Amino acid sequence: MYPVLFTIPFVDFPISSFGVMMALGFIASWWIVSRRLEEHGMDPELSSTIVLYAAIGGILGSKLYFAIDVGLIRGEGPFLDLLFDRGGITWYGGLLGGIIATTVGTRIHQIPTRLVASAVAAAAPFGQALGRVGCFLVGDDYGRRTEGWWAVAFPAGAPPTINRVTGEVFSVHATQLYEVAWLIPVGLLLWSRRKKSNCLFGEYLIFAGIGRFFVEFLRVNPEVGLGLTSAQWIAVGLVTAGTGLCLYYRDKPEPAPTGA
């Protein structure tokens, strides 16, 4: 585990491995989005603007979702403290915030939202996978206890995998890496379909929802209804939304680029 890679001298500001991996995720997304915009006949320089909107919306959305869920719904801490804490990044909140901010950005810059969504869909699985590697490096978002040979212990994790009574260090499912193992093939599949599909973002939502739904069975989040966790219900929503988008755009060709 490498939760902190180094500390900036004189100011004692720690640089976390998660922060670095998240930054790499945005950089990778920027490169892929620029390639896709160029293929669409649009100015690839717009990719930095799009990713900036997605980054700002994603970070704000993830923090807001975390603070509402943990602070207001579960009552496990002060809302404002959770909102401004360096930890507590939730993917679902980031996805929603990123979608909203990016949509607003396409309206401001007068570029086709659907084309941008297609470009983002080709990049999102890879950016998300890098973020999950960051979760693994800091020991966050792991799964249930297991004794399998593939198990991993996070004695300095968040929280540590240590029995508070006995002091025993136990092993768990590295569900962060399970998601990476799902997201990379999904990203490659979507990339191969980028010129064949007219609803690539809908397909991304479907695959992202399916992957999270099944990985969630190995995690420790509480059930909220019908034996499913809140993350699984959101995953069902993603699959439903993605399917709806694909059905809606099934016979509708992509728009021509404008404002490039």
CB atoms within 10 A of CB 80: 10
Query: What pLDDT is recorded for position 129?
Result: 96
Q: Are 19 and 2 in contact (CB under 8 A)?
A: no
User: Considering its fold, how many domains does the chain have in total?
Assistant: 1
**Does 154 map to a domain?**
no
**Does 14 map to a domain?**
yes
Percentage of the residues of the chain whose pLDDT score is greater than 70:
96
Q: Are 219 and 248 in contact (CB under 8 A)?
A: no
Q: What is the rounded average pLDDT for all residues in the chain?
A: 88
**Does 57 map to a domain?**
yes
**Does 102 map to a domain?**
yes
Look up the domain containing 75 and give its range: 4-144+173-248
Query: What pLDDT is recorded for position 258?
Result: 55
Residues facing 6 on adjacent strands: 15
Distance, CA of 108 to CA of 227 (rounded, Å): 43
Distance, CA of 158 to CA of 248 (rounded, Å): 42
Q: Of 161-165, 171-175, 221-225, give the lowest mean pLDDT range.
A: 221-225
Distance, CA of 177 to CA of 41 (rounded, Å): 36
Interval 47-60: pLDDT, tens:
899 999 998 998 89
Predicted model pTM:
0.89
- Could you tell me the pLDDT band of residue 21, with boundaries at 50, 70 and 90? very high
**Does 164 map to a domain?**
no
**What average pLDDT does this structure show over 151-164?**
89
Query: What pLDDT is recorded for position 86?
Result: 63
**Does 42 map to a domain?**
yes
Query: What pLDDT is recorded for position 180?
Result: 97
Query: What pLDDT is recorded for position 259?
Result: 46
**Does 209 map to a domain?**
yes
Distance, CA of 159 to CA of 3 (rounded, Å): 12
